[in-house]
Amino acid sequence: MDGKLALEAFAEREWDIVLMDVQMPVMDGLQATEAIRALEKTTGRPRTPIVALTASVLPEEIGSCLASGMDEVLAKPVTKAALLDVLARRVAARATSPSAGP
């Protein structure tokens, strides 16, 4: 998938969480996240947790992910335990507060 397709899929329906690959063709994950956040603002949709999936975990790269509107960063290769942890926390936070952010 590419970032443009991810944005189109997001626009079609509401999601509980988005797992966003940072490096994708056409539109990267940072651009797609910024577009999703803009879409949420213009449509009044609740903030959807977005979790970056990336092999680039230098502090400045993590900072770029968070600055784009992503809520968390998971380093590749992603472990099952790390994925289940972030899913549980983010979905629980959203269940208690539809506008829950980072």
Mean pLDDT of 26-54: 96
Q: Is residue 101 part of a domain?
A: no
Q: Is residue 19 part of a domain?
A: yes
Domain containing 49 equals 3-96
pTM of the model: 0.89
The answer to whether the CB of 34 falls within 8 A of the CB of 11 is: no
Q: Looking at the DSSP assignment, which residues form a beta bridge with residue 19?
A: 51
**CATH number of the domain residue 92 falls in:** 3.40.50.2300
The answer to whether the CB of 33 falls within 8 A of the CB of 41 is: no
Helix (H) or strand (E) holding 68: helix 59-68
Residue 69, pLDDT score: 98
Q: Is residue 14 part of a domain?
A: yes
Three-state secondary-structure class, residue 54: strand
Residue 14, pLDDT score: 92
| Alpha carbons 8 and 31: distance in angstroms, whole number | 13
Q: Is residue 12 part of a domain?
A: yes
Eight-class DSSP state of 77: S
Domain count within the chain: 1
